[in-house]
Amino acid sequence: MKIKTTISAISKNMFFGIGFVLFAGLVLLINWFFNSPVKQADMINRRLVRTEQQINMLRSAQNELILRYDMAEDLFADTQSLSEEQVTSALNTVKSDIEYFQGFRVVKNHPAIATSLSNQGIALNEYEGNLKVLMMATVERGSEHSGLISRWLEVSSGMLNAASDNGPDMVRMVEKLKQTETAYLLNSNMKGINDILALADEIRTRLSGKETGIKVSDLDSYTALTNNLVSVDTRIGTSGNPGIISNTGKSLEALLNASSNTTLLMNEALQKRKTVWTIALYVIIVLITICGIIFLIVITNRVITTPLSTTAAYLGDIAAGKLPAQPLSEEGLPEIKQVDHAVNELLIELKKKTDFTRSLNENNLGIQLIASGPHDELAGELNSLQKKMTDTADVQRMNDVENAKRRYINEGLAKFAEILRTQSNDIHLLGDAFIREIVKYLGAIQGGFFLLNEDKGDEKMLELVSSFAYNRKKYMQKSLYPGEGLVGTCAMEKQIINLTEIPEGYITITSGLGDTKPDNLLLVPVLHESELIGVLEIASLALFKEHEIQFAGEVAGSLGATIIYARNNQRTSELLMKSQQQALEMSEQEEEMRQNMEELKATQEESSRREEEFRGIAEAISQSLFMIEYGLDGIIRDVNDKFCIFMGLTREDILGRDHHTVLAGTLIPDTLFWEELQRNNHVTLTEKIKIGRKQHHLKEHFAVVQNKDGIVVRYINFITEVTT
């Protein structure tokens, strides 16, 4: 079954895979077929742009030749060979592009484009011929550095150098000739040539019969060069006059018009071609996509949608909490069958987990749930829930045990509180009742209470004041020093000692059947606020439990507080007896005291009178002077109201601060200042302070204040404002 399913799944995957590859290949093929004309049109457009750039270069070369012709002194200066190479390359490129365009079907199918290209080729050939003639003519004409103009200027310069031998008049005539040359080269005016020829004839006339200075042969050569220059300039012409320049400009204009027309026609044709092929491409792709979608929808409905709808409805029942009785029928694609099989497995597992949960609700915590796999989270959570319920039950049992222990301790404390309350008047009776009841409450066999006796001066002893079921041998030692034996060790350490291994011969439990050693010995210190009161010693044949030891410690603390209370009551009684005896003695002294009181009253009246006088003096000083009191540390302890008003501060702003912090003046009292004040008892000085924008001059009188024993207790400062 698994092999068949796997083969079917592989066949289906191969079917869909091959179908997808064929569909993608068809789309790519169509895209390539329809994009080829578009790419060809883009390539032609780029070639057209390059052709226009080359034609513009030719126009630039022509403009440069004309510019050099107009500026004869820089004609072809160091750039002639480069310009010729650029012009030749541009001409060859344009010719190649025209031949390239003529080979395309789009040109052959459009007669207008073919005709325009032909006209462009004719105009290019004509322009090439005119441009080469122009270049040759400009080279022949030259400039002041080369060509005809260079030789012309060289001959005239030689004549100028030789004219000095013919006299000043001849020099002036040759200089005028040079000026006329320069004017002609700048303006190309034929009148200048006529003037030059006229001056040459006049010079010839003046040279007749002279052997020195300007030679006639040089003058003849100069005249011939002038005529040749006029001939070349006439042949070249200008852009407005007939000549080579005019012909070249006309042929360039024809070339530009033909090129512009060709570019316009080809762009229109190519744009239409691109639009048609692009629209056709999109239409074909859309049609193929629609057909593919329809095919996929049909196949999907048959082998996927219908089986999935059935499975979804089945899963909807499971999601709603309903577990169907019958399994889901497995049909459709192998993957869908696998899904249906997984759903059936899920249903089985859900039923198992439902039964498990029902058992947990019935408090059956011993049942086990086996997970369906290592990633079965629900089974893991249910098992965790089972464990938590088990742990909760264990915790509840532990809580019940703890509650029983707390109840044991609370009931015992209440019971012993009653014993301590009723027996608190006599320590011995209290000890007997307490040790008897605690031995019974702890389930022990024997017990004793050792009380710390502090009435023997510095020597403290632990005395056995109460016991329960001790044999006579144990009674032989009733007093112990702290640190002596187990009881003394407990007293010294003030910690509970719980022994499960009793030293041999330390204690035995006697009954009618004989003597036996106890299994557990508990020694508990009786404390009150960390003060040792005594020690409890309890022996048992059974081991003491932890809560019983805790209870013994707590009830021992209550016993300690009660003993302290009893001792305080006893001491109070003794003090009461002493006070009664002292009352008799005091009655005898009362008469004597009455007489002393009368004398004291007279003294107090005199003191009150003098105190009133001093108070009046102090109030008068306070009303007229500023007064500050300092502590021995130099901190202000008191000030009068007049000083507060003067400073514009409250008492709270001043008290607790030092002198300089409050006044911010020129005086900064330090430790040396206060020591000097103590040595001299008083110091008088002046100080400047500033309150707001106003400056004040103060005269200050520091003095010490002593008690009746002559010890300095504080400092005082009386301040007056000095008017300047």
The vertex-577 CA angle with 572 and 583, nearest 5°, equals: 120
Distance, C-alpha 176 to centroid of its chain = 89
Say if residues 189 and 171 touch (Cβ distance below 8 Å).
no
Which percentage of the chain shows pLDDT scores above 70? 83
**CA–CA distance from 491 to each of 131, 553, 583 (Å)?**
134, 14, 42
Mean pLDDT value of segment 655-664? 90
Of 80-84, 594-598, 600-604, the one with minimum mean pLDDT is: 80-84
- The H-assigned helical ranges of 301-376 are 306-319, 334-361
- The H-assigned helical ranges of 625-669 are 641-647, 651-654, 659-663
Secondary structure (3-state) at 688: strand
Q: Is the pLDDT of residue 589 over 80?
A: no
Q: Which residues pair with 493 in a beta bridge?
A: none
How big is the chain, counted in residues?
A: 724
Q: Please give the pLDDT value at position 636.
A: 93
- The H-assigned helical ranges of 71-79 are none
Mean pLDDT value of segment 219-230? 80
Secondary structure (3-state) at 6: helix
CA 525/CA 181 separation, integer angstroms: 142
Q: Please give the pLDDT value at position 35.
A: 61
Give the DSSP H/E element, type plus range, for residue 722: strand 712-722
Q: Tokens for 16? A: 């869909």
Say if residues 127 and 252 touch (Cβ distance below 8 Å).
yes
Say if residues 319 and 350 touch (Cβ distance below 8 Å).
no
Q: Is the pLDDT of residue 555 over 80?
A: yes
How many CB atoms sit inside 10 A of residue 523's CB?
24
What angle, rounded to 10 degrees, do the helices at 80-102 and 2-70 form? 130
Higher pLDDT, 722 or 212: 722
C-alpha closest to that of 533 among 476, 412, 452: 452
Secondary structure (3-state) at 604: helix
Looking at residue 331, the DSSP 8-state letter turns out to be: -
Q: Please give the pLDDT value at position 1.
A: 44
C-alpha closest to that of 19 among 300, 282, 278, 283: 300
Q: What is the pTM of this model?
A: 0.35
Q: Is the pLDDT of residue 385 over 90?
A: no
Q: Please give the pLDDT value at position 142.
A: 75
C-alpha closest to that of 134 among 188, 95, 73, 84: 84
Looking at residue 481, the DSSP 8-state letter turns out to be: -
CA 144/CA 229 separation, integer angstroms: 13
Q: Is the pLDDT of residue 83 over 70?
A: no
Give the DSSP H/E element, type plus range, for residue 682: strand 682-691
CA 141/CA 245 separation, integer angstroms: 14
Which percentage of the chain shows pLDDT scores above 90? 5
**CA–CA distance from 284 to each of 24, 33, 290, 328 (Å)?**
14, 11, 10, 45
Q: What is the pLDDT of residues 395-424, one digit of tens each?
A: 888 888 888 888 888 888 888 888 888 877
pLDDT category at 322 given cuts 50, 70, 90 is confident
- The H-assigned helical ranges of 423-541 are 427-441, 485-493
Q: Please give the pLDDT value at position 37.
A: 67
Q: Which residues pair with 68 in a beta bridge?
A: none
**φ and ψ of 242, to 5 deg:** -60, 145
Mean pLDDT value of segment 107-135? 75
Q: What is the 3-state secondary structure (H, E, C) of 110-126?
A: CHHHHHHHHHHHHHHHH
Q: Please give the pLDDT value at position 3.
A: 47
How many CB atoms sit inside 10 A of residue 719's CB?
19
CA 50/CA 43 separation, integer angstroms: 11
Q: Is the pLDDT of residue 429 over 60?
A: yes
For 535-556, letters b (16+ CB in 10 Å) and e give: bbbbbbeeebeebbbbbbbbbb
